[in-house]
């Protein structure tokens, strides 16, 4: 049986939710229908909305169900930008960072290409930490031109935590909305939407133990979003489309479990992460722990290996029955170095020599032991092969 250490890509559906999810799939009724069966489905959706709102710490009306993080990021970034530019045509600047997930970068670049937006890339240091002093200085001089700021709460490749409260504290002085992709954060690190002062926040169910295909966009009641998804007007008119009561219910339940278990799981994963880091650096003495000593989610362990291909390491570990990754699963198979590492100032060769080991609620000591046992031979083989010629 394969050892699964790629939870940042997707985590297994929670076993305790599967039977209820399958049962709910057999329930008839569109939540927008007015007959009894439809209203039964609607009640299931609203119960899930209440459950998720409690887990996220927001008002129930701020929870909009989506298909996942990518849709949530698109609705938020495009909606906030188009809402701002409609109110004031001079507000065409979007501030973001080159270390963002492509689900955050690509909507910004689309707005540049089609809607006259101007992206300003927030500087980051060698560990990926955003320069908040630079941000404060930029906004002091240019706040009237800024439509929004978009920054991840936890980086999905390196596990680095962004100081969201500091960012919103700077932005709020000028009334600038901030969006956060919290897909890698929610259920893994403590967070409160209410306390964050964010305008919008995207989350995804399959990183929590819900099925693939469901997520949520949390939208503050005072946020001004233009509508970019048109149809039946569901979810405050911001996200049209028939709601899935089974998916919504499983998201609400998995979120509640993740938040309830957060402290215990964090302690266990921190212990495992220390073992893995120690074992890797004992074998690969020149390996570099990517985020250094900066604050991060311990369940994501990211290294770069000088003179060694991350792809070779991945395939050799996979051959030994251990599943890990070199970075975002959304870019797997793309023959390019990690854009996250490149934005952090790494060379192409350094960016190609990365490996991400990501832990989750199902990770056991046996899983960790299996990785530690398989790593030396995999590393020796990858080091011998070296980097491919470009």
**Where does 218-323 have alpha helices with state H?**
245-283, 310-319
pLDDT at 329 over 60: no
pTM for the whole thing?
Answer: 0.95
323 given a catalytic annotation: no
| Residue from 58, 308, 323, 330 carrying the catalytic annotation | 330
**Cα separation, 203 vs 182, whole angstroms:** 5
**Cα separation, 163 vs 141, whole angstroms:** 22
pLDDT at 334 over 90: no
**Domain map of the chain by residue range?**
3-10+262-385, 15-256
**Cα separation, 171 vs 281, whole angstroms:** 40
274: how many CB neighbours lie within 10 A of its CB? 12
What 8-state DSSP symbol labels residue 207? G
**Cα separation, 101 vs 157, whole angstroms:** 9
- Structure token digits, residue 149: 């700021």
Task: Render pLDDT for 264-311 as a digit per residue (tens, 0 to 9).
Answer: 999 999 999 999 999 999 999 999 999 999 999 999 999 999 999 999
pLDDT at 252 over 90: yes
The CA angle 232-233-239, to the nearest 5 degrees, is 105
Which CATH class, in words, describes the domain spanning 15-256? alpha beta
User: Is 128:159 a contact under the CB 8 Å cutoff?
Assistant: no
Categorize the per-residue pLDDT at 344 as very low, low, confident or very high, splitting at 50, 70 and 90: very high
- Structure token digits, residue 132: 């908040």
Task: Render pLDDT for 370-389 as a digit per residue (tens, 0 to 9).
Answer: 999 999 999 999 999 877 76
CATH topology of domain 3-10+262-385: 3.90.1150
User: Is 297:154 a contact under the CB 8 Å cutoff?
Assistant: yes
């Amino acid at each position: 049986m394969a050892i699964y250490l790629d939870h940042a890509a997707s985590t297994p559906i929670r076993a305790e939710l599967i039977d209820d999810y399958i049962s709910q799939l057999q329930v008839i009724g569109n939540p927008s229908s007015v007959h009894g069966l439809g209203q039964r489905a609607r009640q299931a959706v609203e119960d899930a909305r209440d459950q998720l709102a409690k887990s996220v710490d927001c008002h129930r009306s701020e929870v909009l169900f989506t298909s996942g993080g990518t849709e949530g990021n698109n609705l938020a970034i495009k909606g906030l930008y188009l809402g701002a530019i409609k109110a004031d045509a001079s507000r065409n600047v979007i501030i973001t960072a080159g270390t963002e997930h492509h689900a955050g970068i690509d909507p910004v670049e689309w707005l540049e290409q089609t809607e006259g937006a101007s992206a300003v890339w927030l500087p980051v240091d060698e560990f990926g930490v955003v320069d908040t002093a630079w941000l404060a200085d930029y906004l002091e001089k240019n706040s009237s031109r800024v439509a929004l700021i978009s920054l991840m709460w936890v980086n999905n490749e390196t596990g680095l935590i962004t100081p969201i409260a500091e960012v919103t504290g700077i932005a709020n002085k000028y009334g600038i909305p901030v969006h956060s992709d919290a897909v890698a954060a929610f259920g893994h690190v403590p967070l409160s939407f209410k306390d964050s002062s964010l305008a919008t926040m995207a989350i995804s169910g399959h990183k929590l133990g819900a099925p693939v295909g469901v997520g949520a966009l949390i939208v503050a009641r005072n946020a001004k979003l233009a509508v970019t998804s048109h149809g039946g007007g569901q979810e405050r008119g911001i996200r049209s489309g028939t709601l899935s009561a089974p998916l919504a219910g499983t998201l609400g339940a998995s979120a509640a479990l993740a938040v309830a278990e957060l402290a215990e799981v964090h302690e266990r994963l921190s212990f495992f992460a220390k073992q893995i880091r120690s074992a890797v650096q004992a074998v690969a003495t020149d390996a570099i722990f990517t985020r250094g000593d900066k604050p991060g989610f311990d369940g994501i362990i990211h290294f770069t290996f000088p003179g060694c291909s991350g792809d070779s390491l991945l395939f050799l570990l996979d051959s030994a029955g251990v599943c890990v990754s070199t970075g975002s699963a959304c870019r797997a198979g793309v023959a390019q170095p990690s854009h996250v590492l490149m934005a952090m100032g790494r060379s192409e060769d350094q960016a190609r020599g990365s490996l991400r080991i990501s832990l989750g609620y199902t990770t056991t000591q046996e899983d960790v032991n299996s990785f530690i046992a398989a790593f030396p031979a995999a590393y020796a083989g990858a080091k011998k092969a070296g980097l491919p010629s470009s």
